[in-house]
Amino acid sequence: MDLGLRFTVDGPVARVVLDRPEVRNAQTPAMWSALADFGTSLPPEVRVVVVSGEGPSFSAGLDRRLIMGDNDLGQEPLLTLGAKPTAEVYELIAGFQAGFSWLRRPEIISIAAVQGHAVGAGFQLALACDLRVVTPDARFSMREPALGLVPDLGGTQPLVQLVGYSRALELCATSRWVEAAEAKEIGLANIVVPAEELEGTVKDLSDALLGPLPGAIRETKALLLGAADRSYEDQLKAEREAQERRLKQLLAALNG
Beta-carbon count within 10 A of 32 CB: 22
pLDDT per residue over 150-201, tens digit each? 999 999 999 999 999 999 999 999 999 999 999 999 999 999 999 999 999 9
The answer to whether 48 touches 108, Cβ cutoff 8 Å, is yes
Q: In a structure prediction context, what are the per-residue pLDDT tens digits for the chain, which is 256 residues long?
A: 578 999 999 999 999 999 999 999 999 999 999 999 999 999 999 999 999 999 999 999 998 888 766 666 667 778 788 889 999 999 999 999 999 999 999 999 999 999 999 999 999 999 999 999 999 999 999 999 999 999 999 999 999 999 999 999 999 999 999 999 999 999 999 999 999 999 999 999 999 999 999 999 999 999 999 999 999 999 999 999 999 999 999 999 999 7
Q: Annotated catalytic residue: which of 91, 144, 199, 239?
A: 144
pLDDT at 215: 95
Distance (Å, whole) CA 35 – CA 31: 6
The amino acid sitting at 19 is D
The Cβ-side half-sphere exposure at 132, using a 13 Å CA radius, reads 30
pLDDT at 70: 62
pLDDT at 72: 65
The answer to whether 73 touches 11, Cβ cutoff 8 Å, is no
- Using CA atoms, how far residue 52 sits from 49, 125, 133, 202, in Å, is 10, 10, 10, 10
Distance (Å, whole) CA 52 – CA 110: 11
Strands (DSSP E) contained in 120-250 are 131-134, 139-141, 178-179, 191-192
Beta bridge partners of 132: 112
Beta bridge partners of 27: 62
Domain ranges of the chain: 5-209, 214-255
Pick among 1.20.1630, 1.10.3470, 1.10.12, 1.20.120: CATH of 214-255: 1.10.12
pLDDT at 180: 98
5-209 against 214-255: fold identical: no
Q: Is 144 annotated as catalytic?
A: yes
* pTM of the entire predicted model: 0.94
pLDDT at 6: 97
Q: What is the DSSP letter of 11?
A: T
Q: What is the DSSP letter of 164?
A: -
Nearest to 48 by CA among 108, 133, 126, 91: 108
Question: What top-level class would CATH report for the domain 5-209?
Answer: alpha beta
